[in-house]
Amino acid sequence: MNISAVMVKSNFKENKKKMTYPEIKYPEIKFTVDGEPVGKGRPRFTRNGHAYTPEKTADYEELVKLSFREKYPDFKPFEKDVPLSVIIYAHFPYPKNAGKTKRMYMIPTKKPDSDNIAKIICDSLNGIAYHDDSQIVELYVWKRYSENPKVIVTITEF
């Protein structure tokens, strides 16, 4: 290792000790929505041209709200100017034809799409976990197979 590399390494250690982290007002919010993940459906239109939300989408949005309120009954939404990070783990049931060995390597590439899973979760939490989903500045969605289908949602300040 040359002298400049040693100096950079030692400066990093000194600066690391001086780092201060912002005070976190809210703890990590984490809850589970039991059952198979559902994606946000497209709005449907009546013959008269009126838009409505598909029943499956509306029911799942209610399930997300219920799951959140069950875990955090007195939660006050994050303030409007607080940027948020959301992590969503979507666990799908294994296909019936998947053997035990094959299951270890399987990753769901089926519908619903990751973005539609995020949309239904984030839209459901508007007004109860945060004022608006525009506060979300970082979003991760993982789709995996599991013995127990569910969605695990984690919300933290960014």
**Domains observed in the chain:** 21-157 (3.30.1330.70)
Q: Which of 1-5, 62-66, 71-75, 144-148 has the lowest mean pLDDT?
A: 1-5
pLDDT the model gives residue 25 = 57
Four-CA torsion 55, 60, 65, 68, nearest 10 degrees: 170
Q: Is the pLDDT of residue 22 over 90?
A: no
Cα–Cα dist 80/130, whole Å: 7
Cα–Cα dist 102/155, whole Å: 33
pLDDT the model gives residue 23 = 54
**φ/ψ of residue 135, rounded to 5:** -70, -15
Cα–Cα dist 65/77, whole Å: 13
Q: What is the pTM of this model?
A: 0.78
